[in-house]
Every structure is written in structure tokens, then in C-alpha cells.
Chains A and B, each alone.
Chain A
């Protein structure tokens, strides 16, 4: 199918993008790589009246290692994350998870910020942010604030971003503990039926509810996952238990 008609405006700076968001409010959506938003529009699951293209704003595509954190700009593409030696060294969980994010053509355009702001509960990256205890940088005309990943994903495709806020970067605390990542999917690159991103004793499951869910390794799983064409709720609960056990074994944590 084709996307419904909309207006398109290109923002040159973050300030301009925030001003446009303030002006158009909830009718507008930011467009970065477009690899989640455009399919949703083609399927008519989303029909914003205005797209604000932030894809060409400069200065948002940096990966910086500071003393105690790794900062990734919102417009860093998945492919760049996958090939970054700095990320592989400091946050290998993200490198491993990125191998499972869609396919090469989509990774070449999709962006970190776009993925997280889209908040798909079946996506790998929001779960990684929870496991890693990352913070999300949100910018608006009022300034910049940091939102802990645990408070960022608020529901199905819902985030804590205000209508006039733009996700501009993420920060991951360093050093990152040992990790485990696995997902179960029908085809390599497809959305997971169930997946688990673990960092130390923080276990973040995805594709098990309306948002990624974080559990301490010592806690028992309390899941109420949806049923769909891929799996029943009971199958998802079972698979999540299997992944949890594998993670605990791999990380040397006593169940």
C-alpha cells in the first residue's frame, strides 16, 4: 500500500526541529531513517499530517567514549553501531543485538534514535537500553533532560517524550557488565517471537508485552505476553523461561 498524503518539511537544526514540533504538535512525526515509520505509514497504521525530516541535521551522528559513559548520537545508523570498534569494545551487548536488527538494507538507513523513539516492544534496542541502564537525552525548546530507560518506554509505541521533544542521544554507563543476548525468530532479521538482552544481573525481555520488561536475575518471571500468529501466550512464557535459564547459565548466576 501507499502512505496517505502528508506535508514534508526538512529541519536543518535541532532547534528548528523542536520549533516545528512545537508548532505542529501531535499531528507531526519526526522522520530520521524512516525504517519503522514509513512501513507503518505504507500500511496506514500511522498517518501523521506532517513529517519533519531530521535526517540531515549535523552533529547527531557521533559515538563518543567518555570516562564513565558511552554516548551515541540519535542519527547514528544501525550499520555504524554494528561496525563500531568502540561499541564492540565497551558495549558488546549492543554489537551482538544489532546483528539481529532487521537486514543489511534496513540497518544501512535505520537510526538509533528513530528505533528508540518508535518504541516497538518487539525491537531489540529498547530492551538493550533497559538492560544497560541507559539514559535517553530529550531536547526541546525548553532545554535538554535525561530520561532513564526504565521510565522511557511507557507503552505500545509510547514513550515519555513530550510532543515537542526530540530524542537527541543516548548515554550508556561504563563499564558495562558481562552480557547475554539471544532471540528466537522465524527468519534471521525478523522480529523476535521472544528475546532477551541481559547485562550483569539485569534481564530485559522483548516481544513479551506492550513494552520491553526488566527483571532482576534473582526475580521470578511474571509475564502476561500477547498471543499472535507467531506464538501463543503460553509459548512465549515458556520461551522466555528458556532464554532466562540460558542467560543465568552463561552469566554464571545461580538460579
Chain B
């Protein structure tokens, strides 16, 4: 079946069998191997991507269902610089060991930070509850996300956001 979709901003046309899920399509057809496949039944979160701006499991979406959609993978988020600070925080806090879960963790974390710029640790853990890490554990990952949130809040202030304006008035 013929499909046409946008992947990381690039228009893609392809011919796929209906049984091919989006994760395999990205990896095998487009060589975008940053989307990892773990359990292939929606439990582990390694294949997390964004479809039309919303989180999705690439293993639980058929490529044919993504026809006409805007798909963003870890490669896209990485290249655009959207999550550069989050990646840096993961690196600095050693929030990854084998790295298998990392693309999914980053995309899920970014999804949370876009909705809730200052989440508490419990909220972060709840939002990542669908993403398994089997080596470093979660503490460092939560730390890195907290650091990123704090950094973004602070830089908003520096850039003349609400925090800076208020500080100016007070001083």
C-alpha cells in the first residue's frame, strides 16, 4: 500500500505492507535506527516517537496508519536542537548506561516539559512510567529532567521572560 507522510520535516513516499509497524518502517525503510524496538507490544517505551505532536508507540502504530501524518523521531528532535539541553543534562548526570531506552526517555521527557515546565519528581516518574530502563535505573534520569526544567525556567528569565521582568521591577 502506498503511503505519504512527513518524517522529521522531510516528505516521504513509500510502498509498505499493512503488517509493517511504524517502528520497523522507520528503521528498515528509512534507516532511522534511533527509534529502538524492545518489547513490540507497547510495554517498554523504547520506540516512543511523536505523531502530529503527540507521543506514540511506534510498535503500536501501523505505517499505513501514519499515512498523511507528521512523524518526529529522536533524530529529528536531536538535529533540530529542540532537546539539546535535555541531552546534555542526561550526559552530565550519567542518565544512561547502555542507551537502549534513551531515545524514548528523551522524547517522553520532552513531551512532559512542553506541557509542564516545572514538574515535580513524582510527576516526572508518573510521566515516564511507561518507559523501562534496565540498567542505570531512574534516579539519574529524573535528576537530569529536573535539571533541564530548572535550566529552561532560568533561561526564560534571562531572556526577558516573566521572571526577569519581575526581578527588574523589584530591584
Contacts and interface: CB of A to CB of B under 8 A. Distances in A.
B62 A8 contact: yes
A157 interface: no
A34 B61 contact: yes
B40 A42 contact: yes
Interface of A is mostly: loop
Interface string B29-52: 000000000001110010010010
A188 B125 CA distance: 9
Q: Interface extent on A, as a size class?
A: 20 to 34
Interface string B50-89: 0100111101111011000000000000000000000000
Interface in B15-31: 17-19, 21, 24
B130 interface: yes
Interface stretch (A99-107, A116-124, A171-179, A245-253): A99-107
B56 A108 contact: yes
A35 B65 CA distance: 12
B143 interface: no
A30 interface: no
Contacts of A229: none
A189 B130 CA distance: 7
B129 interface: yes
A2 interface: yes
B152 interface: no
A79 B56 CA distance: 12
B1 interface: yes
Interface string A194-212: 0000000000000000000
Interface in B102-139: 108, 111-112, 125-127, 129-131
A38 interface: yes
Contacts of A66: none
Contacts of B19: 2-6
A105 B130 contact: yes
Contacts of B54: 79, 108-109
A96 to B, nearest CB: 14
A55 interface: yes
B41 A106 contact: no
Given A187-B129, A188-B129, A104 B61 contact: no
Contacts of A1: 40
Nearest to B48: A105
A166 B64 CA distance: 22
A79 to B, nearest CB: 7
Contacts of B24: 2
A42 B62 CA distance: 11
A17 to B, nearest CB: 15
A34 B59 contact: no
A241 interface: no
B41 A39 contact: yes
A51 B63 CA distance: 13
Contacts of B18: 5-8, 51
A189 B129 contact: yes
A150 interface: no
Contacts of B57: 35, 105-106, 109
Contacts of A105: 45, 48, 55-57, 108, 130
Interface of A: 1-8, 31, 34-35, 38-39, 42-43, 51, 53, 55, 79, 102-106, 108-109, 187-189
Given A51-B62, A105-B57, 12 more contacts: A2-B19, A4-B19, A5-B17, A7-B18, A35-B57, A39-B40, A39-B60, A42-B41, A103-B130, A108-B55, A109-B54, A187-B129
26 contacts: A1-B40, A2-B19, A5-B17, A5-B18, A7-B18, A8-B62, A31-B65, A34-B65, A35-B60, A38-B59, A39-B40, A42-B59, A53-B64, A102-B130, A103-B45, A104-B55, A104-B108, A105-B56, A106-B57, A106-B130, A108-B55, A108-B56, A109-B51, A188-B126, A188-B129, A189-B129
